[in-house]
Structure 1
Amino acid sequence: MRTLRRRAAALLATALITTSLAATWEVRSTTPASASGRAVGDDNSDHTDRRFLASCRVKIKRSHATAFCHNPYPVTDRVALHIECARWWDVDADTAPVEVPPAGYVELTDRCWMEIHSAWVGHDPLRPVRPGN
């Protein structure tokens, strides 16, 4: 009888752990959403073309995050690094938007006090000025 209870408890614990890991994986695999329901980092309006966004890669090392952005396109892109800290008491960080000119390169750096949960780059391409507007 005692082994049956231990086996049932172990099975229940395994099921709970598996469920919580699956839920954590699903939460981390989705794009963070803002209060308006749009994806954070999806700051593009209908007037912009998504293919003219600067290419960025984010490197996280302990409590520091750095974004390396290069803009190979003829349109200026405005980028900002957004950091979500792992601890509930640690304030999330957002850098000021920086313009990346055509053929330009920028590095954005920010940090949390402890671990970083996630970091991503938001884009806001500047509209090209058309003659007559």
Structure 2
Amino acid sequence: MRPSNRRAAAGLLAVAAVAGLAAPAVAERAADAGRKPAAKKVALFGSTCRTTIDGSRVVAYCHNPYPESDLVRLHTECDRWWDIDADGSPVEVGPAQTVRLTDRCWKEVRSAWVSHHRM
């Protein structure tokens, strides 16, 4: 056999060996491609809150549809610089409960939001 043929044969054998080693991994990936990935279990949490601003008053209704209790807190930011912003007391919203949170400013309300915390 000539040297160039020997090199070609050795190269062909090397490629065949690498392909033989890689074939099981390729087959395993192809089998995994047909399966759906396992879904992560996410614990649903948090009340759904509806906040309404009417002039200087804020009202928020929070309903908790989940089995875990939620601690909600109303935050009110007043529009005037001299009017004090307020963070309400935390209120527990149990499973299937609705709570009403209220607050007010002396004049206009700039914004209001509700924060949620796990118990």
Give TM-score, length-normalised by structure 2: 0.63
Structure 1 counterpart of 2:71, one-letter code: R
Aligned equivalents of 1:73, 1:111: Cα separation in 2? 29
Residue 54 in structure 1 maps to residue 47 in structure 2: yes
- Asked which structure has the greater CA Rg, the reply is 2
Which residue does the alignment assign to 2:57? 64
CA-to-partner distance for each residue in 1:74-100, whole Å, 9 max, x for gaps? 000000000000000000011100000
For these two proteins, the number of residue pairs brought into alignment is 78
What is the 5 A alignment of 1:109-120?
A: 109-120=102-113
Which residue does the alignment assign to 1:82? 75
Aligned equivalents of 1:106, 1:75: Cα separation in 2? 15
Give TM-score, length-normalised by structure 1: 0.57
Structure 1 counterpart of 2:72, one-letter code: V
Which residue does the alignment assign to 1:35? none
Which residue does the alignment assign to 2:115? 122
Query: Does the C-alpha gap of structure 1 residues 97 and 50 become closer, same or farther in structure 2, counting only changes over 3 Å?
Result: farther
Structure 1 gap segments, 5+ residues each: 1-48, 127-133
Which residue does the alignment assign to 1:97? 90
Structure 2 counterpart of 1:92, one-letter code: D
Aligned equivalents of 2:71, 2:116: Cα separation in 1? 6
Aligned equivalents of 1:119, 1:60: Cα separation in 2? 8
Query: Does the C-alpha gap of structure 1 residues 124 and 50 become closer, same or farther in structure 2, counting only changes over 3 Å?
Result: farther
Instruction: Output the aligned Cα RMSD.
Output: 1.3
CA-to-partner distance for each residue in 1:42-74, whole Å, 9 max, x for gaps? xxxxxxx68411000100000000110000000
Structure with greater proportional strand content? 2
Give the percent of matched residue pairs that are identical in Structure 1 and Structure 2: 56
Which residue does the alignment assign to 2:20? none
Q: Residue 52 of structure 1: SS of its match in structure 2?
A: coil
Runs of 4+ with >6 A deviation: none
